[in-house]
Copies of this chain bind each other. A is one copy, B any other.
Amino acid sequence: MSTKKYNKLFTGVSLCCAMFATSFAQAEDKVYRLKLAETWGPNTPILGETTKNMAALADSMSNGRLKITIDSANKHKAPFGVFDMVRAGQYDIGHSASYYWKGKVPNTLYFTTMPFGMTAPEQYGWFYHGEGQDLMNEVYGKFGMYSFPGGNTGVQMGGWFQKEINSLDDVKGLKIRIPGFAGEVWAKLGAKPVNIAPGDLYTALERRTVDAVEWVGPSLDIRMGFHKIAPIYYTGWHEPASELQFMVNKKKFEKLPADLQQILKTAMRTSAYDMYIQTHHESGVSWDSMKKEFPNIQVKSFPTDVIDAMRKVNGELLAERAAKDPLAKRIQESQAEYMRKARAWTEISDKAYLNSISK
């Protein structure tokens, strides 16, 4: 072959290879970039680790083809605007908690946790084997979004109290920091739920501007320091399995190739389960450390008459919602029926085990 011919050929080959490589890169190596907005501040323990874990899993499983960048609240400035931003496509994914949107879309209430409701394994069962995921899709689908379980905190504690609650009389006038639906229950029993910025809670509890503060549980409470200034830690009744959520913009999701859709879904599902386990772990570690430093912390459960009154009021508040909205009624019934069977099993398995082997 003459040099000239060889050169011609080489040029042609290079061109072909370059085209070939480009087309391959488009088909196989195209990098999909998604933006995630989280309700939490930067580097929030546990909650913020969950989004980072999810993004890292998606990246490594996709060999870098699925890149998720995370904006915390300091960046997007709208911790409670995540729903709207994902809905509008300003972000592709949101990490938050469904019950934050109950003022905007009342039926989002049911997909985090409910007073006297399901424990974490029961509720995951409702999502994945009962009607939970379908009902959540029905609620979020109207806004062009999917919502998936996004990490569980386990049982949240009833709160740090300066004084003991021995009867319903002690509830009257009780100043307690507790937001949301559980706050409505307390209010109906005569307590005075108050709203105080997180940064002011410690001082408010210390100076007894409030009588009690509900936060999360040992894993996150420890950083707030409430155990140093309040003698009684009440056990939980109102958030037995608070599940965070990943909201995903449907149009953005459907533009992903099938393998990346599956990778994203699995990364969300795994990191959600992982958060449940991490919270359990860190609660154990933090509770141990609190007790070592303050061995006189008293753990109490609310007395039966208070629990019964809370349950009654909770039922009334739910009935009001069901009466106004057939979908609310359907969701409530689905949860109640699922929980009836799941709890009967929990009673003879986990509960019977823990009770019968207790020393």
- Interchain CB contact under 8 A, B235 and A283: no
- The CA-CA distance from A154 to B121 in the complex, in Å, is 10
- Among B12, B128, B311, the residue within 8 A (CB) of A12 is B12
Instruction: Give, as a whole number of angstroms, the nearest-CB distance from A113 to chain B.
Output: 11
In chain A, positions 240-279 with a C-beta closer than 8 Å to chain B are: 240, 257-259, 262-263, 266-267, 269-270, 273-274, 276-278
- Indicate with 1 or 0, residue by residue over A131-160, a CB within 8 angstroms of chain B CB atoms: 000000000000000000000001101000
Instruction: Give, as a whole number of angstroms, the nearest-CB distance from A24 to chain B.
Output: 6
Copies of this chain, count = 2
- Interchain CB contact under 8 A, A350 and B119: yes
Instruction: Give, as a whole number of angstroms, the nearest-CB distance from A60 to chain B.
Output: 4
Minimum CB distance partner of A306 in chain B? B356
Minimum CB distance partner of A291 in chain B? B344
- Interchain CB contact under 8 A, A345 and B235: no
Stretch binding the partner chain, chosen from A14-22, A98-106, A192-200: A14-22
- Interchain CB contact under 8 A, B346 and A354: yes
Listed from nearest, the 10 A-B pairs whose CB atoms lie closest are A235-B352, A301-B356, A63-B259, A155-B349, A125-B281, A284-B341, A129-B281, A284-B342, A284-B345, A273-B273
Measured CB to CB, the residues of A under 8 A from B are: 5, 8-9, 12-13, 16-17, 20-21, 24, 28-29, 57, 60-63, 116, 119-122, 124-125, 128-130, 154-155, 157, 217-218, 233, 235-237, 240, 257-259, 262-263, 266-267, 269-270, 273-274, 276-278, 280-285, 287-288, 291, 299, 301-302, 307, 311, 340-358
Ordered by A's residue number, 17 sampled pairs between the chains whose C-beta atoms are within 8 Å are A13-B16, A16-B16, A16-B20, A17-B20, A20-B20, A63-B258, A121-B280, A128-B277, A128-B281, A217-B349, A235-B352, A270-B270, A270-B273, A281-B342, A284-B342, A307-B357, A355-B355
